[in-house]
Structure formats: structure tokens, C-alpha cells
Amino acid sequence: MNKKHPGVKALYDFINAFNTVQKTNIISKLHFPHYVHSDGNEPVVYEDGEIFWKTIQVQFKKMINEENWHFSTLDKCDIITVTEKSLQCFVEFNRRDKNKKSYGTAKGIWIATFKNNSWGLQIRSMIPVSGTISSLAGTKMNELK
């Protein structure tokens, strides 16, 4: 992992922003349209931050109320390919409770892009590999309500 690459830093910045559960923090770390996919679901495209925020709120509610989620950690971020304006990484993250114990792990591919003079997370594809994960990016949030 090369945490010094600005594309990799953008991925860690996203997970840190995600943990704040604050709209502006999270959306500022993404590029739009934002593409997501999770195990067994059709890919979803969020055209802008407002649409993304409406659906991610449902995921936060589910994680907090059903999983006792407190925060997530990006525990692996290995560069697959990097170019001047794109970076693909194999990632592994853990959802953690208030005691910092992992209760669910997912792996996948995240792609950061360099647009509008900054790096941001633009594509995520994740598959749960252990523990309990109620929903991931790409889960049909209208079915979770």
C-alpha cells in the first residue's frame, strides 16, 4: 500500500468522512456520478450528492440500529493499477462496534479518479466476506426501509 499516493489518500479520507455521518464531509470525498455495486445487486449510479445522501441515510440507520455500528476502518488498500487520473485498489474494510471490535468484513475494488483538480472516490464494488453486514453500497435502499 502506498498511502502517499493522493488517490489512496482519497480512499482513506472517504472512510474517515463516512465515520462522521455528516452529509457535507462524505459527499465532498466522492466524485459524481458515483457508481456502486454489492454482492448480488445490480450496479447503482448516483448522479449527484443529494440523491446519494438520501439513500446512504437509510444505510446509516440500518447499520446503527441493527448492527450497533460505531465506525468503519479501511484495513487494506493495495494498488492494482494507477495512471495519471485513475487508481484501482483492492480494499478490505471492517465495520466496528463501540469497543472497536470488528463484527463484519467486506472486500472489493474501489476506484479513485482525478477530476476537477482533486482525487475522489468514484466507483465501489464490495462483497461481504465475514460477520454481519446488513447492507453495502449498491444495496437497494428502498427495500431496506
> pLDDT 10s per residue in the chain (145 long)?
456 899 999 999 999 999 999 999 999 999 999 999 988 788 999 999 999 999 899 889 989 999 999 999 999 999 999 999 999 999 999 999 999 999 999 999 999 999 999 999 999 999 989 888 877 766 654 444 4
Delimit the domains of the chain by residue range. 6-143
For domain 6-143, give the CATH number: 3.10.450.50
pTM over 0.95: no
Residues 99 and 126: beta-carbon distance below 8 Å: no
CA distance 129 to 109: 14
Instruction: Tell me what pLDDT residue 138 has.
Output: 60
Which residue, among 119, 125, 121, has the nearest Cα to 5 in the 3D structure?
119
Q: Give pLDDT, residue 1.
A: 46
Answer whether 54's CB lies under 8 Å from 46's CB: no
